[in-house]
Amino acid sequence: MRGRHLFTRATPKLLSFPCVNSIKLPDISWKSHFLKTTFKALDRQKMQVLGSFAIILSIFSVHSTVYFQEQFLDGDAWKTRWLDSKHKADYGEWKLTAGNFYGDAEKDKGLQTSQDARFYAASARFEPFSNEGKTLVIQFTVKHEQKIDCGGGYVKVFPSTLDQAEMHGDSQYYIMFGPDICGYSTKKVHVIFNYKGKNHLIKKEVKCKDDELTHLYTLILNPNQTYEVKIDNEKVESGTLEEDWDFLPAKTIKDPEAKKPEDWDDRPKMDDAEDTKPEDWDVAENIPDPDAKKPDDWDEDMDGEWEPPVITNPEYKGEWKPKQIDNPNYKGAWVHPEIDNPEYAADSTIYKFDDISVLGLDLWQVKSGTIFDNFLVSDDVKEAEEFGAETWGVTKEPEKKMKQEEDDKKRKEEDEKNKEQATEAEEEGEEEEGEEEGGEEEETPEEGTEEEEAPGKDEL
């Protein structure tokens, strides 16, 4: 683990700024040479130059910040950083393992759910921070090696006010992000934000991975109110917060005062007034069968008066309707005019959370075995990409290879087992046939004995 506490990384960035001639700079480094060169163009006051100089130095000091990072590389020490909730007495237990297959036996160790049909609740705390004016990146890996049928694989981000020992499903959170699978109908990535005390689900359907391999999930939340969801370092969804969630009322609403004019004709077609019904149109729908004959044995005294069966009239054409023609008075479909919604108020701070301080796992699983690893909370997308490449990116192919080898081994063992069972069944069948044949041979002498005994009885 590179440390769970907040740390920063300097990111040099070069920009050119106009400066005056005549400024004397100490020749102490390559930066001095750079500044002498760039400060040679203009004729301004020294104070302006010093201001530009300060700006340039500040640019050299731009930092990316990692607020939380967890790789579980120090054995059982993770238990000092992660706290289990005591809200329920029967929460499932976590264990540290790389699972049944992996890319690296040590680097792929993570927290695994270990008991079926249980709720799980654990969390880790870090220094509180606000993402105001900054990008927020939440990233982690998930492996459902148990062929999950129903269970969560998401994380929650909480404020510092969370009582970790009492964390549960109704504890208020800022963000919920990650995969959720249940049967064939639910295989999605949750992206839920809390806004003014209410949880808002994304309106889009973001599909998650449902195989048994490790996958990298990344949520990027930008201060310009846009977002991006990535799986395995590839973008799978993006957009704006206002469009893809129902945080705010609609900008416009139907004008309650507007009504469709009474003379508004919205019929594209109309009956042809000149069209008339043919004289032979009206015929009965059903008629007596003309080919039917009264049975010879029909007795009217016993059976009543004979009536031929009824059949559909082949001449029947159904209800007559005049043909349709274009309506000369058609004005098109009436569109209800809209007005600005008086309840709508733009909010440029939907993305902002002031007190981010806890990352938690609060979920339910029917079949246990999911492994969580490589957690990262940062303000730098590039940092997250690099961290993902250094962790999941390095072990994904070896993991896939080991998984394939394990599958091939199991398949071979099953084939051999099936062959053994087939051989045993065949041998048992041959033994049964042999027993039946042996039984028939034993019956033959008995029949002969009876035949031999019969004459003796006759003699008596």
Binding site members: 71, 107, 109, 154, 156, 173, 180, 362, 373
Nearest to 362 by CA among 67, 77, 70, 85: 85
Which two structure tokens, joined as six digits, stand for 299?
């007795």
Query: Which residue matches tokens 């039984």?
Result: 439
Which two structure tokens, joined as six digits, stand for 96?
């540290």
d(CA 152, CA 365): 6
Instruction: Give φ, ψ of 60 to 5 degrees.
Output: -70, -10
Half-sphere exposure of 413 (CA within 13 A, CB side): 6
For the CA atoms of 287, 292, 295, 296, the dihedral, rounded to the nearest 10 degrees, stands at 130
Nearest to 366 by CA among 36, 113, 161: 113
Which two structure tokens, joined as six digits, stand for 132?
């105001």
Binding site members for an alpha-D-glucoside: 154, 156, 173, 180, 362
Nearest to 136 by CA among 167, 177, 169, 107: 177
d(CA 324, CA 271): 5
Q: How far apart are the first and last CA of the chain?
A: 107
Nearest to 187 by CA among 221, 144, 157, 226: 144
Query: Which residue matches tokens 């999941």?
Result: 392
Binding site members for Ca(2+): 71, 107, 109, 373
d(CA 230, CA 238): 9
